Amino acid sequence: ASLANLREAMNKSQQEQIDDLRRRHAKELEQLKAQHTAQLNETFATHEVFAKQMHSEHDATVAKLVDDAREASDRHATESARDQAVLREVQANLDQEMRKSASLIHSLQESRSAVSALEERIRGLQTTHEETLEKKNEDFAKEKRSLKEHHKTATERLLQAQLDETSGLKEQFHRARHLQDLQLKMLQDRLKELQDLYDNRPSREEDVERIAQLEEEVREKQATVKRLLEEMHFYKLELHNREQNYNKVFGAQPTVGILNPVASKKQASTGPGANGAPKMHLVQQPGTGMGMQMGLPPLGGLPPSGPGQLGGGSRKLQKRPSSGSIKRTSVAE
């Protein structure tokens, strides 16, 4: 149908072009005829009026008109030839399009035949594929069942082997643990034996000598400390006795006070003289202001130290019995 429509359209277009060319050619011929007629009428009129004067011109004009007519005829022939050439070209194009259309129709028929063959082949391949797929599915199902059975058997065998191996490992572990307990018990007994030997080991000679030396040094130090404590107690009693004798002889009654550093600090921080230093009271002995050199005699029978005796070397203290009825008491060790 499309080819017929194309053919009709091309025929119609060609016919329209031919008709158009014919109309233009007829129109040009009519125009030329009209022009020629008008020129002839004008020439005849001029010839009648100026026949004698324009005879030569009439001949020239006639020759000219003949040339124009010939030229017009030649032009018309050229245009006709050109139109014929165009027509032949259009006809050639039409023939070419017709051949192309025929080739396309032939190609279309071949394509349809090939499509039909391919469809038939596709149907055959689909049938073969379905049969092959069904067979593959059956084979796969059989292989799957076989693999499941094989896997089940292998799993059961592996589980049994693992159970046997686990039992063997447990038995080996119990034996190894029993052996380890025995070894540990033996090592503990050996450690206890070695500890007893270490605790009851005999003393070394150098350790015994060192201990005896240290004990002797301790005894010497204790004796020295005991002697120093006795001497300190003796001097304390001596000083106390002399002070009592001095107070009895001179009738002195010194004021004895207690210095509390904490109380003095509190009073200094809260009292009126908080910023000043604590007041000190000097207690003078009787006879100090009169130039009397009174005081306790030197301890231990030492002579009074003077300027000439400085740097003369140190002298050992000598014990003397205290004055009065104060007895010397011993200091417990």
Distances (CA, A) of 6 to 86, 107, 175: 20, 17, 106
The mean pLDDT value for 18-45 works out to 81
Higher pLDDT, 286 or 268: 268
Cα(94)–Cα(84) distance, integer angstroms? 15
Cα(257)–Cα(13) distance, integer angstroms? 156
The mean pLDDT value for 208-225 works out to 95
pLDDT band at 258 (very low <50, low <70, confident <90, very high): low
pLDDT band at 1 (very low <50, low <70, confident <90, very high): low
The mean pLDDT value for 171-197 works out to 91
Residue 255: the pLDDT is 65
Whether the predicted model's global pTM rises above the 0.75 cut:
no
Count the neighbouring beta carbons within 10 Å of the beta carbon of residue 125.
Answer: 12
The mean pLDDT value for 56-64 works out to 72
Query: 227: closest CA among 154, 145, 297, 331?
Result: 331
For 132-166, write each residue's pLDDT tens digit: 888 888 888 888 888 888 888 888 888 889 899 89
Residue 295 has pLDDT above 50, yes or no: no
Residue 324 has pLDDT above 50, yes or no: no
Higher pLDDT, 180 or 201: 180
Residue 294 has pLDDT above 70, yes or no: no
> Do residues 154 and 147 make contact, with C-beta atoms less than 8 angstroms apart?
no
Residue 278 has pLDDT above 70, yes or no: no
Please, where are the H alpha helices in 200-273?
205-250, 261-270
